[in-house]
Copies of this chain bind each other. A is one copy, B any other.
């Protein structure tokens, strides 16, 4: 009679406040260990463990073991997409203060994802690197060409793949909120490190949001033709 997929099952999983808190923590795309997720949801590790098991079982999360830590992340981009769609219909304003509202904006605008830059700025900067013909998309990676290598090296970024690390050099990382790719991998990390070093960006007090400084606005414009407008 009524249509096929079993909505209620997944929705009820997301519908628990503790699980929802964990899922939101994972929306940044990062994998987090069980303990961190428990803390984020303000519940005991035991309780978190049962929640995580349920979400693994339902295909919402996947698990990677690293020693005694178990890392969890969203199983795929569809899950992130669904969570965001739910957020858009989450009624009036959950936001208790102006400060929280600003924080939320800040996250969408610029944040770190593991160790590289994400959010609107992350995507926009990557776009500029492509447009200026420094990097180009190729499968799941970017390729840094000679022109880009020169430019970024002069800018203070490590442009050689470290031979001992088997980390991907210039991975494409999908930003769910923008649904666009930005630069990750060791190149993305090195570039982001350099931006911190130059104090073009700085960490906001808590969480993973990042602020672009005045020097950053000037610098990104001059070096990469990335013109930011303050909203």
Contact = CB atoms under 8 A, between A and B. Distances in A.
- Residue with the highest number of chain B CB atoms closer than 10 Å, among A89, A94, A103: A89
A89 B79 contact: yes
Size range of the interface on A?
35 or more
A104 B1 CA distance: 9
B14 A11 contact: yes
A87 interface: yes
A170 to B, nearest CB: 14
Interface in A184-202: none
A160 interface: no
Interface in A106-151: 107, 139-140
A163 interface: no
Contact of A8 (B6, B20, B76, B174): B20
B10 A12 contact: no
Residue among A10, A16, A84 with most chain B CB within 10 A: A10
A1 B40 contact: yes
Given A83-B7, A180-B139, A2 B21 contact: yes
Given A13-B15, A81-B85, A6 B206 contact: no
Interface stretch (A22-30, A44-52, A62-70): A22-30
B94 A6 contact: yes
